[in-house]
Amino acid sequence: MPQENNPVEILGEGRFLRLLSRNGWEWVERTQCSGVVVILALTPEKKVLLVEQYRAPMNSNVIEFPAGLAGDLPAYENEAMRDAATRELLEETGYRADEMHYHLAGPISAGMSSEQIHFLEARGLEKVAAGGGDETETITVHEIPLKEADAWLRTRMHEGTPVDPKVFAGLYFLQRSPENREG
């Protein structure tokens, strides 16, 4: 049952996150963005684009789909999710997409954060730049044949590299799309 009438207490605030409480339940929210995009990208050769980068909370590299924040910079305050996905895909992987197909949005960790993620599928990909992230990131791009992605990911996990579970959700969307199935 919604608790809209119960006040929210601010317990703490950092540069990018705020810690909140309502009726003793604590959670975090981002303070400087309008949403998070996760980009499901498949090359014309049917290779899924994954990125690997260091994540401080895990103290490890993590394998993920290309992703990023919408509206996190002054120049992008009112940025649409599709525009953020297009920008982040190019920045992280060096690929430009002709279109972004919107799949869905939902909570990333409903018990810990108010954050919503938006899954978008990049279509009509063309490699136009090196990728690797912006000046604050060191991103390795992996191009894995879609039919081998599950085995490759499980091998990497067995070797000790964490894999964001959203990758498996995204693979579901890519694999169920008729145009991505092997004939």
CA 121 – CA 87 distance, rounded (Å)? 13
User: Where does residue 176 rank: exposed (0-12), middle (13-18), buried (19+ CB within 10 A)?
Assistant: exposed
Q: Which residues are catalytic?
A: 135
Q: Which neighbouring-strand residues pair with 20?
A: 10, 27
Residue given tokens 């006040």 in the structure block = 7
